[in-house]
Amino acid sequence: MGESLLSVRNVTKSFGEIEALSSVSLDIYEGEIIGLVGSNGAGKTTLLRLLSGVYRPSSGSITLGNGSPVSESRQYLGVVPESTGLYSRLTAWENIRYHSRLYGVSDEEAWKRTSFFATHLGMSDSLGRHTKGFSRGMRQKTALLRALAHAPRVLLLDEPTAGLDVTSARTVRQLVQDLGNQGGTVVYSTHQLAEAEQVCNRIVIIHNGDVRADGTPQELMEQTGTNRLEDAYVALTHDQARIRTEDSKPLSKWATWWRGLFTPAVPSEVIEDE
């Protein structure tokens, strides 16, 4: 086991009266590819946003291996969020260069790393194109290149293959595996158990805001007395999944009033198209 890069201690995150995560503790070590697995609403995205410093814990702490709070050391992290957030009027390279300059990385170094990974992703000929006309797969690959350009110690991926075609998804998975083989550290959030089993050497199962299991696929099967990871997952998450917590955050009185001005009343009987 390598050096501990991120340490999560008794972290709870609440949105009003809704507790999205409850007393989560785990360590992320150098060289691991961790599959963060759970259903929609389990708390995966909330945990990733906490790891990246976008959210602050309601209680508990998240620190780097050197003891500094993660919110003050984001340059060590590369993040590919569920929404890529690319600037459509910029080319792929301009998006990447802008991001790299924010981290103090020279254009020369950023281009060197971008060119290397672009070759693996089949993006070399598209770096000079504006992202406005990019497909979902091309946008996702550009976001990956952007996250890797400043040489982060930990790469955080939120559903990196969601909505991608088979070829693009396979390319992304292969890049993640290559990073792991080279000693990179990746946290890979997905609700696709088969994908996590294929890519990751450690599985963290989150269900209803709790960490239900943490270990290798083999360890989880031994823990539950099952022969397949899918059966182990079902055994560990047998209680009903909750709705997505961040989507269920109640609206303020002002937001409710404003929405009511522009949202027509729903009729009591709706006739569906045949």
Q: Give the integer Cα–Cα distance in Å for 244 and 42.
A: 7
Q: pLDDT digit string (tens) for 145-186? A: 999 999 999 999 999 988 788 988 999 999 999 998 888 999
- Give the predicted TM-score (pTM) of the model: 0.83
Least confident of 38-47, 159-168, 251-260: 251-260
Provide the pairing of β-strand 33-37 with 18-29. unpaired
Report the pLDDT value the prediction gives residue 67, as an integer from 0 to 100. Answer: 80
Average pLDDT over residues 123-138: 92
Whether 270 has a pLDDT exceeding 50, the answer reads no
Report the pLDDT value the prediction gives residue 273, as an integer from 0 to 100. Answer: 35
- The residue among 145, 144, 138 whose CA lies nearest residue 159 is 144
Superfamily of domain 4-262: P-loop containing nucleotide triphosphate hydrolases (3.40.50.300)
How does DSSP assign 140-163, residue by residue?
Answer: HHHHHHHHHTT--SEEEEESTTTT
Report the pLDDT value the prediction gives residue 39, as an integer from 0 to 100. Answer: 87
Whether 274 has a pLDDT exceeding 70, the answer reads no
In this structure, are residues 81 and 158 in contact, taking their beta carbons and an 8 Å threshold?
yes
Report the pLDDT value the prediction gives residue 75, as an integer from 0 to 100. Answer: 84
Q: Give the integer Cα–Cα distance in Å for 135 and 13.
A: 34
The band of 269, judged by pLDDT with boundaries at 50, 70 and 90, is: very low
